[in-house]
Amino acid sequence: MSVLTRDEAQTRARLLDVHHYAIDLDLTRGDETFDSRTVIRFTVRDDTDTTDTFVEVKPAELRTATLDGHPLDPDTLDENRLALKNLTPGEHELRVEAAMRYSSTGEGMHRFTDPADGETYVYTQLFLDDVQRVFAAFDQPDLKAVFDLTVTAPQDWTVLSNGVTEHTGEGHWKAATTPPVSTYLVAVAAGPWHSVRTEHRGLPFGIHCRRSLAPHLDADAEELFEVTRGCFDRYHEKFTEPYPFDSYDQAFVPEFNAGAMENPGLVTFRDEFVFRSAVTDTQRQTRAMVIAHEMAHMWFGDLVTLRWWDDIWLNESFAEYMGYQTTAEATRFTETWTDFGVTRKPWGYDADQRPTTHPVAPENVEDTASALLNFDGISYAKGASALRQLVTWLGEKDFLAGINIHFERHKFANATLADFIDSLAAATDRDVHAWADAWLRTTGVDTLAPRVTGDNGSRALTVDRTGTRPHRIAVGLYDQDLTDEGRLTLRERLDLDVPRAEPRPIGKRPALVVLNDGDLSYAKIRFDTESFEALRTGLSGLPDPLTRAVVWNALRDAVRDGELPARAYLDIARTHLPYETDLALVDGVLAFASAQAADRYVTPEQRPAALATLTDLCRDLIRRTEDGDHPGLRLIAVRHRIATAAHPDTIAAWLADGTVPGGPELDPELRWRILTRLSVLGATDERAITAELERDPSATGQEGAARCRAALPDPEAKSRAWEAMFATDDLSNYLFTATAQGFWQPEQADLVRDYVPRYYAEAVAVAARRGPAIADAAGRWAFPVHAVDDDNLRLGQDCLTDADPIPALRRKLADQLDDLARALRVREADTH
């Protein structure tokens, strides 16, 4: 499939004004394809001569195409481009009729049959350039148009779209006409949905899911609506422009590749957010944040849309920042920035230190394939961090004033970074353009380190900076009470601009200096010797969870940079995590400790001791929660106790009894976790997996069974799993991921050794056949992360040099290989 280049998009935008799409979809044509009929009305501008252009469409069969009533030869379709030649200035009408393929990879029109009840659902995911899989289009974000959509569906289905839909009889549905929107934002979700509806501020609100998830959606419906209403009202307090669409539906759809998608009026979410097993309050907070994030897009992304994909940060960074900030302001989840600090921000730090890093706002994204690669920790987490720093520097009043100027200037149109900065500049006397150059056009992570000088009674603080960005930070000065278990108490929090030429007087030497206290900037921080020693004994006593998040991130960075041995990190976790009260911190620290420190950064010889440390830590957390007052903390501890089990006895007994002693009882999610770990340890078999699948025949159960079967330490099981992933194209995106998650296990390195060299050629082949979504899964989940050795690194480097993987896989492999090289350096540093 040909990708659209920036130059081609700019040329087409100079030639055309696109006014209206009439789209008719027939979803009753069978299991493989659906019918698509499109009528596009557009104008060639008067200041152009007779010209040629093209429309994108990727059909199973192109049946007919007519331009201004004249037939076009379907055989002239070149990959995904249908040429439109000799266009004269003035109005034109293009009609395209085609059969389109359903997808099983979450791209285009995805089709899913629920194994729980046999019901079928379809939904669109048209981002970034997948519109052409559903209907013919001039597929670029700056050719906005008005859309009219009709759909024919089976009689018992409901059809959802960007506007209110009306059933006109005999399975025919008509959606309300949209305001001008970009092609990638058109959405359809059709099936026998279970729906809960309400109204707010005169607008219809709805939430929708598969019928088999109905009881779980109903149980959470009031919470979902409460979050939605709270965020909706808060955005109307922040923004002068009212919500620009006629309804607000939220559909929880199966096998969704992203967390959610901001289709105007019809946001689609992965349906794991309909919780069918026990979850922590942090998971509920994450769901609330995603709701807030997608709602922010209704203004920033949908009302005002980027002109080209180099400004994707204008969509995602803004929504990420607003999602966390508005969740904290408008819902019961007031500690969202702690979760951001320990889960999202490291995503940005990691991405920004790889060779594939890019500016938050890159100056030239050449084509759509390149653009797709930039939906990463930089566009989301780093960009949101930059905006949080901007608000700290600019002030929220001026920031929101600039945002509202931006909406007023560009509503229902497109805008660039320059437009955005100009809008902010109109609301302040500060040099926003210089700030943007320093923060948005540069790459990499600055490092800040404290230096305390002077006599004991008259100390001064200097912040040394490695990097070039200006930072406005808070600095926490903490004293330590050695008679109270080393408890650290805040003496003073200083506001400081970095770089600062002169030292800042701080009086008596504090026990601990925490730079970027409150996490308002984006930088790695270091500790001086005295501060690090105070942390060893007093970390858990720091009073503010956001401060503790900053400290834990700094320790994480030190491990990744080879400055703190992974075993030392595990010892600090073992000492302090049993006393931690913030669930996001407990889960985040345990996740890094197990998946990175124990699985990759320690040597195979050290790994048993690392797992034993984590097992003891989880056991302490479970004992601490025996009173039943901390169910979320207990659930986290149980999950990680399962994941780090080196011996099967305890968790096998839990599975047999159906409960953890003292609770919780095992719901489907915990049962599949235990069975997966038992599979890894060789303590279960195919018969037990089949029995569990009969107990839980849901889509999640199918994924659990695939994961368990791939994890069995049996040559035949490994061969079957490998063939399913790489020799056939039968697995959906979710089943591919589940199989990949089970396949590689550190405990089974010898068993799967021969698959490591096979991986690269076969991943390249499956990515080329199945496209970007499977390429992403193959690079992320099927990569042999356990093989931390020079041979694996060399094989991967040879693949990048010689095998020409498609861009989506190339990017994932480059990132994985950089992480692999880092793990080797960390191990090497630990031996000296």
pLDDT range class, residue 707, cuts 50, 70, 90: very high
Please give the share of the chain, as a percent, with pLDDT higher than 90. Answer: 96
Average pLDDT, the chain: 97
Of 312, 327, 325, 448, which is closest to residue 383 (Cα–Cα)? 312
Q: Say whether 598 sits in a helix, a strand or coil.
A: helix
Is the pLDDT at 482 greater than 80? The verdict is no
Q: For residues 284 and 281, what is the distance between their CA atoms, to the nearest angstrom? A: 5
pLDDT in tens, 792-813: 999 999 999 999 999 999 999 9
Q: Which two tokens stand for residue 350?
A: 């990691």
The pLDDT of residue 831: 82
pLDDT at 726: 98
Which stretches of 170-278 are assigned E, i.e. beta strand? 172-175, 188-191, 194-200, 203-209, 248-253, 260-261, 266-270
Give me the pLDDT at residue 457, please: 77
The two tokens of residue 264 are 């105007």
Instruction: Give me the mean pLDDT over the 570-577 stretch.
Output: 97
Q: Are 736 and 777 a contacting pair, CB within 8 Å?
A: yes
Query: What is the H or E stretch that residue 461 is in?
Result: strand 458-466
Distance, in Å, from the CA atom of 795 to the CA atom of 804, rounded to the nearest integer, reads: 14
pLDDT tens for 237-247 read 999 999 999 99
Cis peptide before 585 (omega within 30 of 0): no
Nearest to 221 by CA among 320, 287, 297, 319: 287
289 — pLDDT class (breaks 50, 70, 90)? very high
At 50 the pLDDT is 83
3-class DSSP assignment, residue 442:
coil
The tens digit of pLDDT for each residue in 418-439 reads 999 999 999 999 999 999 999 9
Residue from 294, 320, 335, 669 carrying the catalytic annotation: 294
294 labelled catalytic: yes
The predicted structure's pLDDT at residue 364 = 86
What are the tokens at 228? 């939605």
Q: What is the pLDDT of residue 501?
A: 77
Cα distances (Å, whole numbers) of residue 74 to 2, 23, 548, 795: 17, 19, 63, 44
Tens of pLDDT, residue by residue over 647-673, are 999 999 999 999 999 999 999 999 999
Beta bridge partners of 166: 174
Q: Which two tokens stand for residue 621?
A: 């957390």
- 816-830 pLDDT tens trace: 999 999 999 999 998
- Its pTM stands at 0.98
First-to-final CA distance of the chain: 51
Q: What is the 3-state secondary structure (H, E, C) of 315-374?
A: HHHHHHHHHHHHHHHHCCCCCHHHHHHHHHHHHHHHHHCCCCCCCCCCCCCCEHHHHHCC
Task: Give the confidence band of 407 by pLDDT, cuts at 50, 70, 90.
Answer: very high
Helices 807-830 and 545-560: angle between axes, nearest 10 degrees: 90
> How many residues make up the chain in this entry?
832
Yes or no: say if 339 and 587 are a contact pair by the CB < 8 Å rule: no
Q: Are 261 and 253 in contact (CB under 8 A)?
A: no
**Percent of the chain having pLDDT more than 70?**
100
- Whether 721 has a pLDDT exceeding 90, the answer reads yes
**In the predicted model, what is the mean pLDDT of residues 57-66?**
98
Please give the pLDDT value at position 308: 97
Q: Which of 447, 446, 463, 457 shows the shortest CA–CA distance to 504?
A: 463
Give dist(CA 682, CA 690) in Å, integer. Answer: 16
pLDDT higher than threshold 90 for residue 234: yes
Kindly report the CA angle at 300 between 298 and 305, in degrees rounded to 5? 100
What pLDDT score was predicted for residue 500? 84
What confidence tier does 386 reach under pLDDT thresholds 50, 70, 90? very high
Summarised one tens digit per residue, pLDDT across range 745-793 is 999 999 999 999 999 999 999 999 999 999 999 999 999 999 999 999 9
Q: pLDDT band for position 628 (50/70/90)?
A: confident
Residues in CB range of 123: below 8 A, 6 or more apart: 109, 110, 187, 188, 189, 190, 191, 251, 253, 268
**Residues 263, 146 contacting (CB under 8 angstroms):** no
- The neighbour count for residue 791, using CB atoms within 10 Å, is 11
**Per residue in 523-546, pLDDT tens?**
999 999 999 999 999 999 999 999
Q: Which residues pair with 447 in a beta bridge?
A: 466, 524
Here the tokens at position 772 are 């970007």
Confidence class for position 716, pLDDT limits 50, 70, 90: very high
**Integer angstrom CA distances of residue 277 from 196, 216, 665, 667:** 20, 9, 11, 6
Q: How confident is the model at residue 632 (pLDDT cuts 50, 70, 90)?
A: very high
Two tokens at 570?
């595990």
Distance CA 770, CA 758 (A): 18
